């Protein structure tokens, strides 16, 4: 796992990675905390690793804590490159905190990560034997990200389905073309669109009524989006309103004024 710079979590100060430090200590006080990694999950299509730690002690904690993350290689001879994130945290008994690590490039397959809390034993804990846990993590399936675009060319309606997300493959895709008082359904089976790809459906007849044509895409019965396009078969021309001709705007001279003379 080639990781980038870690980022702060939503619960702490994002800039705490440059200010938080931990100083080693050897003796655990009576009110010592007890940290254990309790979860690790990939987010953002594998670009973020969120680690959750828990203070299992009956004592609260406030101070700097370091968490180390490294991939467990399949080959035991390989050496992993760990990354660490330091945060200033305030944790009550049995309280949890989440820390986000930015992964660059994103993880695209199942891996095992080793999470170690307080790797240098800088914080005196009631138990130092439970600070390290291995987790199997899998990139989340984000699913397809579909969008529609439609144009009318003559009597043919062309619909483009684009996919900006994970690949789509289904035998149950339907385009519903509707105008007021009329609805038609076009079934597309199978429909397969890879990430960053699109398909065009170009043999759909244009309805003869309705000023706007609405196109809705259903995948496995779920509405995935819609778009609309003006219907050129319907022409609505508002009636003209006669405008009096004063002769001034058109450049035509108006009627002559009567010559009243000079009064003599």
Interval 59-88: pLDDT, tens? 999 999 999 999 998 888 888 789 999 999
Interval 221-234: pLDDT, tens? 899 999 999 988 77
Q: How much is the pLDDT for 98?
A: 95
pLDDT-based confidence at residue 19 (cuts at 50, 70, 90)? very low
pLDDT-based confidence at residue 97 (cuts at 50, 70, 90)? very high
The backbone torsions φ and ψ at residue 18, rounded to the nearest 5 degrees and listed phi first, read -100, -10
Superfamily of domain 146-230: Immunoglobulins (2.60.40.10)
pLDDT-based confidence at residue 20 (cuts at 50, 70, 90)? very low
Q: How much is the pLDDT for 124?
A: 94
For the chain, the structural domain boundaries read 14-137, 146-230
Q: How much is the pLDDT for 55?
A: 97
Task: State the average pLDDT for the chain.
Answer: 83
Domain 14-137: CATH architecture, name and number where available: Sandwich (2.60)
Distances (CA, A) of 68 to 49, 56, 106, 134: 12, 19, 18, 12
* Whether the domain at 14-137 and the domain at 146-230 fall into the same CATH topology: yes
48-74 CB burial, b ≥16 within 10 A, e <16:
bbbbbbbbbbebebebbbbbbbbbeee
- HSE value, Cβ hemisphere, 13 Å, CA-based, for 129: 1
Say yes or no to pLDDT of 52 above 90.
yes
Most confident of 1-5, 20-24, 134-138, 241-245: 134-138
pLDDT-based confidence at residue 264 (cuts at 50, 70, 90)? very low
pTM value > 0.85: no
The proportion of the chain whose per-residue pLDDT surpasses 90, expressed as a percent, equals: 57
Q: Write a three-state SS string for the chain.
A: CCECCCCCCCCCCHHHHHCCCCCCCCCCCCCCCCEEEEEEEEEHHHCEEEEEEEECCCCCEEEEEEEEEEECCCCCCCCCCCEEEEEEEEECCCCEEEEEEEECCCCCCCEEEEEEECCCCCCCCCCCCCCEEEEEECCCCCCCCEEEEEEEECCEEEEEEEECCCCEEECCEEEEEEECCEEEEEEECCEEECCCCEEEEEEEECCCCCCEEEEEEEECCEEEEEEEEECCCCCCCCCCCCCCCCCCCCCCCCCCCCCCCCCC
The proportion of the chain whose per-residue pLDDT surpasses 70, expressed as a percent, equals: 78
Say yes or no to pLDDT of 15 above 80.
no
Interval 103-160: pLDDT, tens? 888 998 999 999 999 999 999 999 999 999 999 999 887 788 899 999 998 889 999 9
């Amino acid at each position: 796992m080639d990781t980038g710079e870690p980022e702060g979590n939503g619960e702490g100060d994002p800039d705490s990675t440059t200010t938080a430090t931990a100083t080693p200590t050897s003796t655990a006080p009576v009110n010592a905390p007890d940290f254990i990694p309790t979860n690790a999950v990939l987010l953002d299509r594998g670009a973020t690793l969120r680690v959750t730690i828990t203070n299992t002690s009956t004592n609260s904690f406030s101070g700097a804590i370091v968490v180390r993350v490294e991939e467990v290689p399949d080959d035991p001879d390989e050496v992993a490159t760990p990354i660490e994130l330091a945060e200033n945290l305030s944790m009550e008994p049995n309280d949890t905190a989440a820390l986000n690590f930015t992964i660059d490039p994103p993880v695209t397959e199942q891996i095992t990560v080793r999470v170690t809390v307080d790797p240098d034993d800088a914080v005196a804990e009631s138990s130092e034997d439970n600070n390290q846990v291995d987790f199997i993590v899998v990139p989340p399936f984000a699913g397809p990200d579909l969008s529609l675009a439609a144009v009318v060319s003559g009597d043919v309606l062309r619909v483009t389905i684009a996919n900006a997300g994970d690949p789509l493959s289904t035998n149950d895709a339907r385009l519903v073309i509707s105008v007021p008082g009329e609805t038609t359904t076009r079934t597309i089976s199978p429909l397969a669109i890879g990430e960053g790809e699109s398909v065009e459906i170009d043999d759909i007849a244009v309805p003869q009524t309705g000023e706007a044509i609405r196109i809705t895409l259903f995948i496995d019965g779920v509405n995935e989006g819609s778009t609309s396009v003006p219907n050129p078969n319907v022409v609505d021309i508002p009636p003209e309103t006669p405008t009096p001709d004063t002769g001034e705007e058109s450049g035509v001279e108006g009627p002559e004024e009567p010559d009243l003379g000079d009064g003599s």
